[in-house]
Each structure stands twice: as C-alpha cells, then as structure tokens.
C-alpha cells in the first residue's frame, strides 16, 4: 500500500520519560481526587485556587524538563516526511514544539496559554496565573483561566482532526490509555476510512483490540525505531507526487 498521509496521536506516556507524570498510573490521582472529578469547569468555579495551584505547578515544572527521544523522533519524522502528517497531542506540555514538531495540534490546550473569560481572548502565558492575574488584552483581573480543555468542553480543531483521520493511510497512537474521548475514538474513524492503525504504549490501551498492530514498551525506545523503519521504507520506495 502506498503510504502518504499519517496522523499521530500522543498522550501523557510520550512525556513520561521526560519526567512528567501521567494521569492514570499508580499515582494517577490529582491532588487526592480523580482527574475526571477535578478537571472540569465546575471544579474551577467551585475552587479556582486549587485548580490554579495545580496548573501553576505544572507550568513551572515545564522549565525543568526536556524533550525525550520520542519527541525528537517525531520531530524528525515531521521534518523528513514528504507526505501529509499531523501530530495531534492531548498533552498540554510544550515538549513536542521544543523538539521541533511543526505540524502539531494541542487538542486539550496548552499550559503556556491563558484565556480571559471576560474578553474571550487567548494569549501566551508564562509564570504563575494565580487568582488575580490580569488579562493582557482587556486588563481585567481575576478572569483569566488556563487555556486547557476540561471534561465537558470541546477539544480544539476537531473538524481539522476529523478530516485528517478520514484521509489518513496510517494512524499511530502513542502513550495514551484510551480512556478519554473523543481522542479514544480516533482509531475507529481511521480504521473505518481504510487507514492502517498502530499503537505504541507501555501496556495495551483500553482500545488495543481495535489496532492492527500493538508495540508494547517505552516510547523513548520504540518511537525512534518505528520512525527509522518508516523513513527507510519511504526512501526505498519514493512516494509518487
């Protein structure tokens, strides 16, 4: 099969080897709560200080971690793949862009962005946000929230992602448990539209049975291997333009 269009989905597991915690591992609770019970707009309305503390700490942690071999391999693929490629990450860290990935969507938002609930502007954000942060656009204090997609909110760029999944020849899911929709359903869309499907994860994900192939192990080891294989096979069989 002529392989041209690739969609890659990443989750917390791709950043685990950089030192960022996953959500649903043995320590997969959020400040003593289930992430599903806390990462909601209702939780933010109920206790904004708790939610700000959590995201401020994670934003600060970004400055102490570096992209790992999996991020770097995906950036290499982005640079060298002549066909269509879309990297969709559920992660809110900035490790993919720091590794050099360009064709990238943050479907669950970004720690490095804020969103003003008063004027609806979104903007880059560094440092703590806390409760009294001032919006750089309208100047209002206390109405800025992390630009993060919580449960019950619509992930970003879904139309674009859906089209890319329908058009793809290969869908690859890396380091995600498959517990959260709509990302957990991407494999079905790609499959129904004729794409091959591969998962790379430390353990079989919840939707593992839906993939044509599962490679079980560390992303930092398996992703560079897979990228090398793919680029080698493309070089030996150049794509028709």
Which residues are annotated as catalytic? Answer: 108
| Span from 17-25, 42-50, 191-199, 232-240 in contact with ligand BJW (CB under 6 A) | 17-25
Measured in degrees and rounded to the nearest 5, phi and psi for residue 146 equal: -60, 140
18, 116, 201, 230: residue in contact with ligand BJW (rule CB under 6 A): 201
Given a contact cutoff of 8 angstroms between Cβ atoms, the answer to whether 78 and 103 are in contact is yes
> Does residue 59 bind ligand BJW (CB under 6 A)?
no
Given a contact cutoff of 8 angstroms between Cβ atoms, the answer to whether 13 and 175 are in contact is yes
> Does residue 148 bind ligand BJW (CB under 6 A)?
yes
CA distance linking residue 166 with residue 170, whole number of Å:
10
The binding track of 117-146 with respect to ligand BJW, each residue x by CB under 6 A or -, is: ------------------------------
Residues 79-118 that bind ligand BJW (CB under 6 A): 90, 92, 108
> Does residue 197 bind ligand BJW (CB under 6 A)?
no
CA distance linking residue 173 with residue 7, whole number of Å:
9
1, 45, 49, 154: residue in contact with ligand BJW (rule CB under 6 A): 154
Measured in degrees and rounded to the nearest 5, phi and psi for residue 76 equal: -60, -45
Instruction: Render 117-166 in DSSP notation, one character per residue.
Output: TTT--EEE--S--TTTPBPTTT--BS-EEEEE--TTSPPTTHHHHHHHHH
> Does residue 209 bind ligand BJW (CB under 6 A)?
no
Element (H, E) at 70: helix 69-80
122-124 and 109-116 strand pairing: antiparallel
Q: Which residue, 2, 8, 11, is CA-closest to 176? A: 11
Element (H, E) at 170: strand 170-174
| Span from 31-39, 59-67, 77-85, 228-236 in contact with ligand BJW (CB under 6 A) | 31-39
> Does residue 24 bind ligand BJW (CB under 6 A)?
yes
- Looking at residue 204, what DSSP letter applies? -
Residue 93 vs 169, nearer CB to ligand BJW = 93
Q: Which residue is nearest to ligand BJW (CB)?
A: 13
Question: How many amino acids of this chain bind ligand BJW (CB under 6 A)?
Answer: 38
Chain residues binding ligand BJW by CB under 6 A are 11-13, 16-17, 22-25, 28, 35-36, 39, 90, 92, 108, 148-155, 158, 175-177, 179-182, 201-203, 205, 218-219
């Amino acid at each position: 099969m002529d392989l041209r269009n690739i969609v890659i989905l990443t989750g917390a597991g791709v950043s685990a080897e950089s030192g960022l915690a996953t959500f649903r591992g043995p320590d997969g609770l959020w400040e003593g709560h289930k992430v599903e019970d806390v990462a909601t707009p209702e939780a933010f309305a109920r206790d904004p200080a708790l939610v700000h503390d959590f995201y401020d700490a994670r934003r600060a942690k970004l400055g102490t971690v570096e992209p790992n071999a999996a991020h770097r391999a995906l950036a290499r693929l982005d640079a060298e793949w002549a066909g269509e490629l879309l990297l969709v990450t559920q992660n809110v860290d900035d490790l993919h862009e720091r590794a050099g990935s360009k064709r990238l969507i943050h479907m669950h938002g970004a720690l490095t962005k804020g969103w003003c609930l008063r004027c609806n502007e979104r903007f880059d954000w560094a440092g703590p946000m806390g409760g009294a942060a001032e919006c750089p656009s309208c100047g209002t204090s206390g109405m800025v929230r992390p630009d993060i997609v919580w449960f019950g909110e619509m992930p970003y760029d879904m139309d674009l992602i859906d089209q890319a999944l329908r058009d793809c020849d290969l869908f690859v899911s890396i380091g995600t448990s498959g517990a959260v929709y709509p990302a957990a359903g991407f494999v079905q869309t790609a499959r129904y539209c004729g794409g091959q499907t591969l998962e790379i994860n430390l353990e079989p994900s919840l939707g593992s049975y839906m993939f044509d192939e599962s490679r079980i192990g560390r992303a930092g080891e398996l992703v560079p291997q897979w990228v090398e294989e793919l680029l080698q096979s493309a070089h030996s069989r150049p794509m028709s333009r």
